[in-house]
Amino acid sequence: MASIKQGAEAYVPPQTLNIADLEKVSIDMDLKEGIGSEGTKDQFKYMYVEIDKKKYRVPGCVLGSIKALLKKIPALEFVSVIKEGTGLQTRYQVIPMGQKVK
């Protein structure tokens, strides 16, 4: 049995990973749906990709930006996402990173 001190030193607080935490993402990755609550009574649905058994949340506005990019760059393969701000002030910018060669 571990002591409180050992438990405290080993403790890693849960954190929500975000697609912006990744350097580059393939848009062909499987998109999954999860249900969360973030400490509230109300549950909500969210989209995520899974890499190395870690879930990376994909905000709806990022999906909308990728949709717009695909209209102009149908052969798009990879994107990078920049996240600025926190909470309701969070903004995302999606940058095209590569496309399929015809």
pLDDT per residue over 60-87, tens digit each? 999 999 999 999 999 999 999 999 988 8
* The amino acid at 45: K
Q: How many separate domains does the chain show? A: 1
Q: What is the pLDDT of residue 34?
A: 86
Do the domain assignments include residue 41? Answer: yes
Question: How many other C-beta atoms are found inside a 10 Å radius of the C-beta of residue 48?
Answer: 20
Do the domain assignments include residue 9? Answer: no
Q: Name the one residue in this structure whose structure tokens are 């890693």.
A: 12
Do the domain assignments include residue 12? Answer: no
pTM recorded for the entire structure: 0.77
Question: How many other C-beta atoms are found inside a 10 Å radius of the C-beta of residue 43?
Answer: 9
Do the domain assignments include residue 48? Answer: yes
